[in-house]
């Protein structure tokens, strides 16, 4: 989806520089712990709410769309969350940024499904990505994955089954039917489509010790 152009975007982001990390590779091995990662934080509803619920956690949110990231940073600032930092670029590999075992949890919310088979390796839940998460996660660390794309969910379950890295801790094809709403931290996208009756798939994986 094309993002609406924001006037004075660079200036607005510069004014919020205290929430940003420009060279995350320099922090490798030295992140504040416990450290949790969201890849593709969108407009920030999820990360800002989760950060308020878990003030004892430290969050690193990656978002490559700078105009979208501005909304997320503004939400975190408005929520007075001091435990979130943003990286405003796409991450090629978490291993460039985190040491083995340095991350406690990874959140993947409504990632691009890349539906064409030739693009399968770009999916954030392909086998190579799962192995990457397995390396940077600590023993007992987790992945939480949500998607409204049923095809991507089936694919993800197949990829998980092909690995021997994670144990399935929770799985449902209809999160908002099977779990109490007060237990679910939602994204803006999720509110929109679950409100229209679209099922939301959810998977929680825990790294084997």
Q: Which residues are catalytic?
A: 112
Rounded to the nearest 10 degrees, the angle between the axes of helix 66-78 and helix 45-53 is 30
Please state, in angstroms and rounded to a whole number, the distance separating the CA atoms of residues 178 and 157.
18
23 CB-near residues (< 8 Å, 6+ apart):
none
Q: What DSSP letter does each residue of the chain carry, written as one string?
A: -PPPP-TTHHHHHHTTGGGB-S-GGGGTT---SSEEEEES-TTSHHHHHHHHH-TTSEEEEE-S-HHHHHHHHHHHHHTT--SEEEE-S--S-GGGTS-TT-EEEEEEES-----SGGGGGGSTTSHHHHHHHHHHEEEEEEEEEEES-HHHHHHHHHHHHH-SSEEEEEEES-HHHHS-GGG-PPPHHHHHHHHTT---EEEEEEE--
The pairing of beta strand 201-207 with beta strand 166-172: antiparallel
């Amino acid at each position: 989806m094309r993002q609406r152009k924001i006037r004075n975007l660079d200036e607005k982001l510069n004014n919020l520089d205290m929430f940003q990390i420009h060279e995350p590779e320099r922090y490798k091995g030295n992140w504040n712990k416990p450290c949790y990662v969201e890849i593709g934080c969108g407009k920030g509803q999820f990360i800002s709410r989760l950060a308020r619920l878990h003030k004892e956690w430290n969050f690193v949110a990656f978002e490559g769309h700078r105009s979208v990231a501005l909304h997320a940073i503004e939400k975190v600032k408005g929520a007075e969350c001091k435990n979130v930092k943003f990286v405003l670029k796409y991450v090629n590999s978490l291993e460039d940024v985190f040491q083995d075992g340095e991350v406690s949890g990874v959140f993947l919310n409504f990632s691009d499904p890349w539906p064409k088979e030739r693009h399968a390796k770009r999916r954030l839940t392909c086998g190579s990505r799962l192995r990457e998460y397995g390396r940077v996660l600590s023993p007992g660390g987790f992945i939480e994955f949500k998607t409204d794309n049923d095809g991507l969910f089936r694919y993800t379950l197949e990829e998980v089954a092909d690995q021997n890295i994670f144990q399935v801790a929770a799985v449902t094809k209809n999160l908002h039917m099977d779990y109490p709403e007060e237990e679910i931290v939602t994204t803006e996208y999720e509110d929109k489509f679950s409100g229209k009756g679209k099922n939301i798939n959810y998977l929680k994986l825990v790294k084997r010790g």
